[in-house]
């Protein structure tokens, strides 16, 4: 069974991913993939250098994320160019890791993809699991976690697909608005209900 795990900013997706990892489930993380595919020697990094110039790499040959970020954050066309290079490489890496996990005997594989719905990647999984938190909870957590003012936190939340829209798209939901124990119990119940084996 391939599960697509997603959430919104400050909903606690990493917490749930961690709980599932502790239980022995194979977790394939899109954020890890995004770092791997731009390591020195990777085709995606070579292509990024071709498009954005050699000044976006450090003297050691690694990607200078700050310099690249400064370019793409202000120009949507450039951001789209970057995504067109990185996203396919990330998907390829994740699918290859999924195959390795299948070969190793994993019966349930969790694909941890923050932008699962935004990127229309539901096809990669048989079911989707959303880690949900009420918008007010998201806001207060993000302010506390990142030391943001309310407008700063709200701007980051509003830049994402609304969590309520994601809720409508998900097959399963873990409501992480409350205490950790309640979340842990929901994870247990979900595993039991779907009869998932590691």
User: Is 30 within the bounds of a domain?
Assistant: no
> Residue 106 and residue 33: Cα distance in Å, rounded?
19
Q: Which of 145, 196, 167, 143 is nearest to 19 (CA)?
A: 196
In the beta sheet, which residues pair with residue 112?
5, 29
pLDDT at 74: 84
11 annotated ligand-binding residue: yes
Q: What is the CATH number of the domain that holds 98?
A: 3.40.50.300
| Inside any domain, residue 63 | yes
Q: Which residues pair with 128 in a beta bridge?
A: 4
Domain shared by 100 and 120, yes or no: no
State yes or no: 12 annotated in a binding site: yes
At 166 the pLDDT is: 97
How many domains are there within the chain? 2
Task: Supply the pLDDT for residue 94.
Answer: 97
**How far apart are the C-alpha atoms of 68 and 34, rounded to whole Å?**
14
β-bridge pairing 109-112 and 2-7: parallel
Q: Are residues 190 and 120 in the same domain?
A: yes
Residues 21 and 87 in one domain: no
Tell me what pLDDT residue 55 has: 94
Can you give the pLDDT at residue 78?
94
The verdict on 117 and 100 lying in the same domain is no
pLDDT on residue 144: 96
| Whole-number Å distance between alpha carbons of 9 and 141 | 9
pLDDT at 73: 85
Which residue ranges of the chain lie beneath pLDDT 50? none
Question: What are residue 68's phi and psi, to 5 degrees?
Answer: -65, -45
């Amino acid at each position: 069974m391939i599960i697509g795990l997603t959430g919104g900013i400050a909903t606690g997706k990493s917490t749930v991913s961690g709980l599932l990892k502790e239980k022995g489930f194979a977790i394939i993380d899109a954020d890890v993939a995004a770092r791997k595919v731009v390591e020195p020697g990777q085709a995606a990094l070579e292509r990024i250098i071709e498009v954005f110039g050699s000044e976006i790499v450090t003297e050691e040959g690694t990607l200078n994320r700050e310099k690249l970020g400064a370019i793409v954050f202000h120009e949507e066309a450039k951001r789209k160019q970057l995504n067109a290079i990185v996203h396919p490489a990330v998907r390829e890496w994740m699918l290859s890791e999924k195959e390795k996990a299948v070969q190793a005997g994993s019966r349930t594989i969790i694909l941890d993809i923050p932008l699962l719905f935004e990127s229309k990647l539901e096809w990669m999984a048989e079911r989707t699991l959303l880690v949900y938190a009420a918008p007010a909870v998201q806001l207060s957590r993000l302010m506390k976690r990142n030391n943001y003012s309310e407008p700063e936190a709200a701007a980051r939340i509003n830049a994402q697909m609304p969590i309520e829209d994601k809720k409508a798209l998900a097959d399963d939901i873990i409501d992480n608005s409350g205490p950790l124990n309640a979340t842990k119990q929901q994870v247990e119940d979900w595993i039991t209900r779907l009869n998932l084996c590691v």
